[in-house]
Amino acid sequence: MSLFRRPDYTSEATQFIEQLKVNRPTLEAEQRAGRALLWDKDLSRTEQAQYSEARVAQQAYVYSNKTPAVGKKPII
């Protein structure tokens, strides 16, 4: 037995989540279905190419509200 071992502790949030999983065993499957609905999408190569072409370069200082003139470097 270690002298530095802490007693087992679980926070209220952890206890709540564990109890929620016990009460609703399908919870994780529902979460995966929700994620698949919004995030897990397959993109074609043409969609990826269109996305990269439409990307706008970010200014060096993102909080500046000054927009550079065409052909000039951004004002920092």
> Does a structural domain hold residue 29?
yes
- The tens digit of pLDDT for each residue in 34-72 reads 998 888 888 889 988 998 898 888 777 777 776 666 666
- Flag whether pLDDT at 5 surpasses 90: no
Q: How many Cα atoms sit within 13 Å of 15 on the Cβ side?
A: 5
> Does a structural domain hold residue 71?
no
Q: How many Cα atoms sit within 13 Å of 71 on the Cβ side?
A: 0
Q: Which residue range is the domain that position 17 belongs to?
A: 12-54
Distance CA 63, CA 44 (A): 34
Structural domain tally of the chain? Answer: 1
> Which residue intervals of 1-76 are DSSP H helices?
12-23, 27-38, 45-54
Exposed/middle/buried for residue 74 (C-beta within 10 Å: 0-12, 13-18, 19+):
middle
> Does a structural domain hold residue 43?
yes
Q: Coil, strand, or helix at residue 10?
A: coil
Specify the pLDDT at position 71.
60
- The tens digit of pLDDT for each residue in 13-37 reads 999 999 999 999 999 999 999 998 8
